[in-house]
A and B are shown apart, each in its own frame.
Chain A
Amino acid sequence: DAGVTQSPTHLIKTRGQQVTLRCSPISGHKSVSWYQQVLGQGPQFIFQYYEKEERGRGNFPDRFSARQFPNYSSELNVNALLLGDSALYLCASSFDTNQPQHFGDGTRLSIL
Chain B
Amino acid sequence: AQRVTQPEKLLSVFKGAPVELKCNYSYSGSPELFWYVQYSRQRLQLLLRHISRESIKGFTADLNKGETSFHLKKPFAQEEDSAMYYCALRGQGGSEKLVFGKGTKLTVNP
* Total residue contacts A-B, CB cutoff 8 A: 57
- Rounded to whole Å, the gap between the CB of A77 and the closest CB of chain B is 20
What's the Cα separation between A63 and B68 when bound, in Å?
35
Chain A interfacial residues counted at CB < 8 A: 26
Checking B95, B101, B102 against A48 with a beta-carbon cut-off of 8 angstroms, the contacting residue is B95
What's the Cα separation between A73 and B2 when bound, in Å?
28
Closest to A57 in B: B97
Question: B44 to A55, Cβ gap below 8 A?
Answer: no
Question: A101 to B96, Cβ gap below 8 A?
Answer: yes
Task: Bin chain B's interface residue count.
Answer: 20 to 34
Question: A55 to B98, Cβ gap below 8 A?
Answer: no
Q: Which residues of B contact A3 (CB under 8 A)?
A: 43
Q: Which residues of A contact B86 (CB under 8 A)?
A: 42-43
Q: Which residues of A contact B31 (CB under 8 A)?
A: none
What's the Cα separation between A105 and B52 when bound, in Å?
25
Q: Which of B39-67 contact A (CB under 8 A)?
A: 43-46, 49
Closest to A105 in B: B43
Question: A42 to B96, Cβ gap below 8 A?
Answer: no
Most B CB contacts (10 A, CB to CB) among A3, A94, A103 go to: A103
Spell out A's residues near B (CB within 8 Å).
3, 31, 33, 35, 40-45, 48, 50, 55-56, 58, 90, 92, 94, 97, 100-106
